[in-house]
Structure 1
Amino acid sequence: MALHITDECINCDVCEPACPNQAIYQGEEIYEIDPNLCTECIGHYDVPQCQQVCPVDCIPINPNFIETKAELMAKFHRLHPNQKTG
C-alpha cells in the first residue's frame, strides 16, 4: 500500500525530508507521493515517517496502490539492494 497526500495538505514541508525513499515531492499545488517509491517506510521504520510528522493528518493509504507487507518489503529491497532492514 502506498500512501498519498490529500488536498488538506498545507505545504508545510515537513514530510518530504522525512521520507527515506525520496518518494515525496512538490507537485503543482501540494506535495505528492510517488507510489513506485513509497514503501510506507517498511524496511526503514515501524511506522510511516510522513504520517508521523504531518501536522494536519492528510496522508492516508492510497486505495489505488494496495500492496501487502511482503510486497512493500520486496520494493524496499529493490530500492535499496545493499541496505539491511531497520
Structure 2
Amino acid sequence: MAIKITEECINCGACEPECPNNAIYEGGVEWAISDGTTVKGSFTLLDGSVVSTDERFEPISVDTYYITPNKCTECQGFHEEPQCAAVCPVDCCVPDEMYTETVEQLMGKKEKLHI
C-alpha cells in the first residue's frame, strides 16, 4: 500500500529528497505524474481515470508535506524499505490503508513511472 504522512509532520523536509518517484511534495504545492519521472503522454491513476502526465493536480495537503498515492511505490524496486519512513524523525510516514496494493502492483507502477 502507499505511504501517507500524518498530521504529526513537523515539515522538516527530510523525506522529500529521499523519494525515488518524486511522490512527496511540500504542503500547498501542486503535483504531476511527470515530476521526477520519465513517463510521457497519458497515465492511469488509481481511480481509473486517464490523465496527461503533465497535468497539475491540487495539493493533497496545504499545511504539511504529503505523498501522492498515485506515484508512491513504497520504494519497491529501489530500496528494501520506504525511505521516507526511514528518515522521518517523528515517524509520521505510515502505510495508507486507503490504498492497498500488492508488491506486484507497486512494481508495475514503478515500471510505468520509470520507462
Normalised TM-score (structure 2): 0.69
1:43 aligns with 2:77: yes
Q: Distance in 2 between matches of 1:78 and 1:16?
A: 21
Shift of 1:43: 1.0
**Residues 4-41 of structure 1, C-alpha deviation per residue, up to 9 Å, x if partnerless?**
00000000010000101000001210000000000000
Paired position in structure 1 for 2:24 = 24
Q: Letter of the aligned partner of 1:43 in structure 2?
A: G
Paired position in structure 2 for 1:63 = 97
Q: Which has the higher helix share?
A: 1
SS of the residue 1:52 aligns to: helix
Normalised TM-score (structure 1): 0.92
Quick check: which has more Rg, 1 or 2? 2
Calculate the aligned-residue CA RMSD, in Å: 0.5
SS of the residue 1:60 aligns to: strand
Where in structure 1 do 4 or more consecutive aligned residues deviate above 4 Å? none
Q: Distance in 1 between matches of 2:10 and 2:101?
A: 27
Gaps of 5+ in 1: 82-86
Q: Distance in 1 between matches of 2:98 and 2:13?
A: 24
Gaps of 5+ in 2: 28-61
Q: How does 1:65-84 map to 2 (within 5 A)?
A: 65-81=99-115
